[in-house]
Amino acid sequence: MEDKPNYYSVIPAIVRYDNELKPNEKLLYGEITSLTNKNNECWATNSYFARLYNVNSATISRWISHLKEKGYVVVEFIYKNETKEIEKRVIKIIGVPINQPMNTYMLNNQEVLIEKSKGYIQKNQEGIDKKVKENNTSINNTSINIKEINKERFETFWKQYPKKVNKFKSEEWFRKNKPNEILFNYIIKKLEMFKKSKEWKKENGKYIPHPTTWLNQKRWEDELNDSHEETEEERIKRLEKEVSEEHNDSF
């Protein structure tokens, strides 16, 4: 049974004015907010959204992936008991309150109400000053959550990097560059490969660069001189990931 949308959808300013998002991705974000329950969770499938927007499921999957990369949503999977088979997917909105009976945001110093079912923006001239603070707080909360994501990504990187030198400058790189999920996962993947390389293992890690050097010079784009043979454990993980990605498209 599909989720039923609420009367209102919410597209906060941070999403509306993100030039890296396609218009349909912004609309999809609003649709997700209208389908969320009290826990800010949306259970609708890609097939549901595909029928709604008259596109295929693969297109919806790309839109959701982009929203996820930008840090606006989190995607989790519910597996069947004691199996690796995906039963349901849940999309969670990050940092934007959407369960109030009426949601408002500021646009050009006016309070606006985003109303999904009628397809227009209703301007409300009353109580503007009263709402300014809470609207700005809602948007700031989203920014705070994005900062927390960057903080978590840095901590993951720092934990795995073998040479612990100049932590502050390394964290500063993450704050400044804000790597999205795809880039971050690629950095971590290449870091694991470099850690297993002969160059980094030579003379007890003598030739491992400082983390700031590795980040600032984008050393993750370098080619490894020595090949790494895939272990059985790595092969299993790779196959599991491929199976999981195939399931993602169906949801």
Mean pLDDT by 10 residues, the chain (251 residues): 62 88 92 82 90 92 92 86 80 61 40 36 42 49 68 92 92 90 88 90 90 92 68 70 64 59
Are 153 and 198 found together in one domain? yes
Q: Does 123 lie in the same domain as 150?
A: no
pTM of the model: 0.40
Residue 1 is assigned to a structural domain of this protein: no
Same domain, yes or no: 100 and 168: no
Q: Which of 114, 143, 172 is the last residue of a domain?
A: 143
Contact present, 193 and 224 (Cβ < 8 Å): yes
CA–CA separation, 27 and 48 (whole Å) = 14
Whether residues 114 and 155 share a domain: the answer is: no
Q: Provide the greatest CA pair distance for the chain.
A: 71
pLDDT for 124: 40
Q: Which of 75, 110, 143 is the last residue of a domain?
A: 143
- The reply to whether 123 falls in a domain is yes
End residue of a domain, out of 143, 162, 182? 143
Residues 128 and 168 in one domain: no
DSSP state of 74: E
Residue 104 placed within a domain: yes
In this structure, the number of other CB atoms found within 10 A of the CB of residue 211 comes to: 23
Q: Would you say 13 and 138 are in contact if contact means Cβ atoms under 8 Å apart?
A: no
- pLDDT for res 102: 37
User: Is 7 inside any structural domain?
Assistant: no
- In this structure, what CATH number is given to the domain that contains residue 71? 1.10.10.10
Residue 181 lies in a domain: yes
pLDDT of residue 148: 83
Same domain for 17 and 55, yes or no, is yes
Q: What is the pLDDT of residue 95?
A: 56
Q: How many domains does the chain have?
A: 2
What is the structure's pLDDT at 112? 40
Do 126 and 155 belong together in one domain? no
Task: Please report the pLDDT score of residue 146 as a whole number.
Answer: 74
